[in-house]
Structure 1
């Protein structure tokens, strides 16, 4: 039941898939660039930092992460020392 596909047909499919992939990559880049942390989340983070440190502190940077586990988060913190 194998389909007989010509080289030209395969090239057309690859070209179409490449265009779709480029469009999806552009869309993902746009979505990632537009992610912002809501104000209520920033207030909660600031309050947690203040409670932990015992005084009001300035939150310098907060980034969204889409990881699934605590170990991944810990590795991310170890590898990224730019935010102290």
Structure 2
């Protein structure tokens, strides 16, 4: 098992990963070009994933949120008005 990096080492690792994959991998698969802002664990750490580079993909914030919700069974919430109807 790889020791998890903290502090400056973690910041340097994050920067290195984002430099190596500057575009969101999920958006690229859809033919879109968006800046990657979040290194994401393919297999989450709590599900036995590692912090190694092979288990990391860089995503934009929106794709990261969607992947996290999918991995942990979170449902998408829609804001509603006082009348109970969806907003937007």
Q: Common fold, TM-score beyond 0.5?
A: no
Higher relative contact order (CA 8 A, sep 6+): 2
- Which structure's CA Rg is the greater one? 1
TM-score of the aligned structures, taking structure 2 as reference length: 0.29
More strand by share: 2
